[in-house]
Amino acid sequence: MTGTRQEEDSNISDLIRNNQVDILLFGSTRKMKPNHRFRLLEDTPRASKTTINIAGFHVYLYGVDELTPQQRKDTTVLFHVHGRTRSYKDSEAVAHQLLHDVRERRSPATMGGLVVATFDNRNHGARAIDTLSSQDWKASNPRHAQDMLSTIDGIVSDAQIVIKYLAAYVDGLFTPARFIASGVSLGGHVSWNLLAQEPRITDAVIVIGSPNLTDMMLDRLGGYKSPSEVPTDTKEWPKAIEKLYLDRDASLERISGKNILILNGAVDPLVPSRFTHAWMDKYAGNNKVTFIEQEETGHNLTYQMMDHTVNWLLQVLN
């Protein structure tokens, strides 16, 4: 990459961050607003896709065929976890765009290997067994609190299984040397948990996820400011689940020495960014954290967030 291209990329990124212009992203011929919901562009080259079965569920790997012999010896694997009610196809779109843009912005001579991995979350996509359990209270799921947290724990377990066994399944294809967590919405919540629970995850991109699920869920339930405000006979919020939420949030206080990119929408009504502020004030100093709250943005992964992710990822890979 020449100095002129680097300067050009920097200037474009500055304009994107300030929401000053319509932007042409990833070589696209179509204009996109920075806060538009990300959609995979038609002219983005598709990465190769490799499907393997680990522990009874499909794991999808993107970018394996494009690895050079040298890159296969030292490959970073980025897990991308999709949102609630969605499927791995959302993550597939992100994988195609990220891999293409990283290749475009990075010199092949200095580029280590990068593969994006994903799978259908529990009770989602091809693994769905009860669609109501993936819905929230507004969609008439009375056990939204239980289903949300148990699903998060299940996805974390699945990711840890893949991390443990992946090298054995891809032997001869590439060598996983480093793992990065990323995710959107539900996947963002999962990424927070992986930072706290999985020592092999030292870097994470968290998009519209929350380190304070207790207050977020209480707000969603009825605008409650604390657990003490919830009536004791509230069937949607039993004390047993309250304790599990409090324990989960407390575990995130121990995150230390990690490299984290947090991308929130400033006007997100579903996962309000304000529930990240307390963690930032108290614990960000124990980590290397980049926190970006995108103005005029709701509960979306946006083109601007994709740009931030690529820029951050290039720094991590270098």
| pLDDT greater than 90 at residue 283 | yes
**For tokens 């696209």, what's the residue?**
28
Burial class (CB in 10 A: 0-12, 13-18, 19+), 313: buried
Interval 157-207: pLDDT, tens: 999 999 999 999 999 999 999 999 999 999 999 999 999 999 999 999 999
Q: Does residue 131 register a pLDDT over 90?
A: yes
Domain spans, the chain: 25-317
CATH architecture, domain 25-317 = 3-Layer(aba) Sandwich (3.40)
pLDDT at residue 118 tops 70:
yes
Confidence of residue 23 (pLDDT cuts 50, 70, 90): very low
Backbone torsions φ then ψ of 287, nearest 5 degrees: -140, 175
User: Residue 109's pLDDT is what?
Assistant: 64
Write down the residue that tokens 């929401």 correspond to.
19
**Whether the Cβ atoms of residue 151 and residue 157 lie closer than 8 Å to each other:** no
pLDDT of residue 108: 65
pTM score: 0.90
Residues 47-80: tens digit of each pLDDT:
999 999 999 999 999 999 999 999 999 999 999 9
Q: Does residue 28 carry a pLDDT above 80?
A: no
Cβ atoms of residues 213 and 189 within 8 Å: yes
Q: Is 233 within 8 Å of 263 (Cβ atoms)?
A: no
Q: How confident is the model at residue 33 (pLDDT cuts 50, 70, 90)?
A: confident
